[in-house]
Amino acid sequence: MAGGLLKILGALLLAAMLTGCAGMVTQRLGNTLADAVVNQDDPETVRAGAPAYLLLLDGLIADSPNDRNTLLAGARLYGAYAAIFVDDKARALQMAKKARDYARRGLCADWPQVCKVESAPYDQFVPSLHEVQADGLEALYVYGTTWAGRIQADSSDWGAIADLPKVEAVMRRVVAMDEQYDNGRAQLYLAVLNTLVPPSVGGRPEVGRGFFEKAIEISDGRDLMAKVEFARRYARMVFDRPLHDRLLKEVLAADTKVPGLVLSNVLAQREAAKLLASSGDYFLE
């Protein structure tokens, strides 16, 4: 896969040099990279091959530092790679920070008012999100997901954790603009954000359950990660073993070959197998 895709990338770059259509080729390049990654059914191929693409995107961004499409492609790939494939915490944090930086640049070049009040109190930050209109939906979504990834990469940073309500506000704005965006993944982020902690310390598991169910509905059950996280975050929190085991068995029995979700679904099945194997110990039945 890597060799064939690199040949395609080389051809696109050559076309850019010959025709001068760098903007169009950059957009095609970002889309090609994203498609190749999300539709790969062997996670180890992505683990081994993606760093070359990350370097390539770094180079393209350095050459066109204000190109929104390339910045967002770099943010997506860096964020996903750090979260899924990097075990070293310091390295994962470094990559998550780069993803966040690329996403901020991709959004705030056109909507600078968001970044201007990013560090302001919540009540000042939220109104700025309503300035972002339909053509900024992708940028706002990637901005939110990479912000969440940055927080996840260093859970000991209480200053970063304090920004979680702002991340939720970003995702609520995305859902308000398009509730089905990215196969319902914005709904899934909201579900996880509401089930990170138990109710005794501010968690809202029933609100989270509603978002989980909506995410599953939007993808027609084909986004297997939604069911895995529903089992992990909600069913375990409320000690609902029948729901927990049912969801995970559905994941293990499902077809992973869904365009745009192949890699995610393969990883979801791996997680489902681990969670189901530990079900008896967790629920003590």
Q: For residue 281, tell me if it sits in a domain.
A: yes
Of 24-33, 166-175, 190-199, 251-260, least confident by mean pLDDT is: 24-33
Output b/e per residue, 106-139; b: 16+ Cβ within 10 A: bbbeebeebeeebeeeeeebbebbeebeeebbbb
Q: For residue 236, tell me if it sits in a domain.
A: yes
Q: For residue 154, tell me if it sits in a domain.
A: no
Domain count, the chain: 1
- Quick: pLDDT tens for 136-172: 999 999 999 999 999 888 877 777 788 999 999 999 9
Check pLDDT > 90 for residue 272: yes
Q: For residue 13, tell me if it sits in a domain.
A: no
- Quick: pLDDT tens for 211-258: 999 999 999 999 999 999 999 999 999 999 999 999 999 999 999 999
Residue 202 is predicted with a pLDDT of 84
Residue 27 is predicted with a pLDDT of 57
Q: For residue 278, tell me if it sits in a domain.
A: yes
| CATH code, domain with 227 | 1.25.40.920
Residue 211 is predicted with a pLDDT of 97
Residue 145's closest CA among 92, 88, 189, 178?
189
> Which residues constitute the domain of residue 234?
179-285
What is the percent of the chain where pLDDT is above 90? 62
Residue 20 is predicted with a pLDDT of 36
Of 8-22, 42-56, 88-102, least confident by mean pLDDT is: 8-22
Q: For residue 215, tell me if it sits in a domain.
A: yes
Q: For residue 145, tell me if it sits in a domain.
A: no
Q: For residue 279, tell me if it sits in a domain.
A: yes
